[in-house]
Amino acid sequence: MKIKLYTYKNVSFPGLLPRRVDVWLPPQYEQAENRRFPVLYMHDGQNLFRRNKFILSTWKIAENVTELSNNGIIPPIVVVGIWNTSNRLGDYLPQKPLASPQAQMALKQFSEKFHFNIGEQVSDLYLKLITEEIKPMIDQTFRTLTPKDQTGIMGSSMGGLISLYALMEYPDIFGMAGCISTHWPICGDYMVPYLEKVLPQPGQQRIYFDHGTRRLDRLYGPYQKKVDKLLTEKGLEFGKDWMSKIFPGDDHNEVSWSNRIDIPLKFLFSEKG
C-alpha cells in the first residue's frame, strides 16, 4: 500500500524540543470533498507509517484504518503522527500523578535501578503542544470533525501513559484513548490515586487498555488489574466505557501492536464499540 503523508517539520512549543508531525488521510478523504472525518492523534509518529533501516516494522495504522473503513466497521479517520524527541520519557511521563516529593523520590530510585535518565519532565507542555498548536493546525488545514467524541489519542508503552493522561487532563477535547502496553511500572503506585480523582462519569469517554505477556509487557498485569478494579468501582461499564485485554505471547514491539491494532480501533471508533 502506497502511503502519502503530509509532513510538518520542526513543530515547536515553548519549553519543548521541536518535532515532526505527519498526517495521513484515508482514501475516502479525496473521494468525498464535502465530508469531514474523525481524527486520531498518535505518539511515536516515526513508527507508524513507513519502514526504514531503523524501523523494520510499523504499526500498519494506515493499512488497518483503510481495511476497517472499507468494510464499514469504522468510519475513515485522519491519523496524526507526532514524532518523539530525545526527551521522549520526559515528554510522555504524566506530571501531576508524580508531582509530590515522595513520588519524585520513587521515580528517581526507579530510574537508578534500571539505569535510565528521565530527562526533563514536561508532559503538561507536551499536551499543550497537542491541544494548542497541533490540533488547531490540523482542524484549520483538513476537513476534520472537531467534537471530543470524534477525537482520539493513542500510543504504546510510555505513549499509553501520556494518552491516558491527555484524556484525563483534556476531557473536553479527547473523547477516547487507546493505551497499548501501558508502561505502568514507571509510575509505581501513584497513577491509581490520580485516576481516582479525575476519572470521567460513565458514558463520557472510551478508554482501551491492553498488554501482552512477554518481556516488558509481562510486568504490566498487576498494575492493570488495579486500574481495571478502579474503573469498575467508579461505575464505568466494561465493553462500553472501557475495555482491557491481555494477549498471551505478545511482545513489547510494533509487530505485536500492529497485529492487534484493529481491536482498539473498533472499540474506540465504531458506533457500538
Q: Specify the residue for cell string 472499507.
A: 70
Answer for the pair 193, 167: CB distance below 8 angstroms, yes or no: no
**pLDDT score at 53:** 62
Cα separation, 143 vs 103, whole angstroms: 42
Cα separation, 14 vs 32, whole angstroms: 37
Span 15-31, pLDDT tens digits:
999 999 999 999 999 99
| CATH 3.10.105.10 corresponds to the domain 5-269 | no
Phi, psi of 58 (to 5 degrees): -110, 180
Quick one: pLDDT band at residue 272, thresholds 50, 70, 90? Answer: very low
Joined together, the cell numbers standing for residue 47 give 513508527
**pLDDT score at 51:** 79
Phi, psi of 101 (to 5 degrees): -60, -35
**pLDDT score at 50:** 86
CA atoms within 13 A on the CB side of 82: 29
Beta bridge partners of 210: 180, 245
Q: What is the chain's mean pLDDT, rounded?
A: 96
Span 85-130, pLDDT tens digits:
999 999 999 999 999 999 999 999 999 998 999 999 999 999 999 9
Residue 176: which H helix or E strand, with range? Answer: strand 176-180
- Domain spans in the chain, listed from the N-terminal domain onward: 5-269
Quick one: pLDDT band at residue 263, thresholds 50, 70, 90? Answer: very high
- Among 105, 90, 91, smallest CA distance to 189 is for 105
Phi, psi of 60 (to 5 degrees): 55, 40
Answer for the pair 139, 33: CB distance below 8 angstroms, yes or no: no
Region 184-188: what's the mean pLDDT?
96
> In this model, does residue 54 exceed pLDDT 70?
no
**Percent of the chain scored above 90 by pLDDT?**
94
Span 188-206, pLDDT tens digits:
999 999 999 999 999 999 9
Joined together, the cell numbers standing for residue 218 give 509481562
Angle CA 37–38–44, to nearest 5? 120
> In this model, does residue 55 exceed pLDDT 80?
no
Type of residue numbered 143:
R
Joined together, the cell numbers standing for residue 32 give 468525498
Cα separation, 5 vs 21, whole angstroms: 10
> In this model, does residue 56 exceed pLDDT 90?
no
Answer for the pair 25, 142: CB distance below 8 angstroms, yes or no: yes
**pLDDT score at 57:** 86
Angstrom CA distances, 152 to 77, 134, 183, stand at 10, 14, 19
Region 152-176: what's the mean pLDDT?
98
Region 172-197: what's the mean pLDDT?
97
**pLDDT score at 273:** 40
Angle CA 214–218–224, to nearest 5? 140
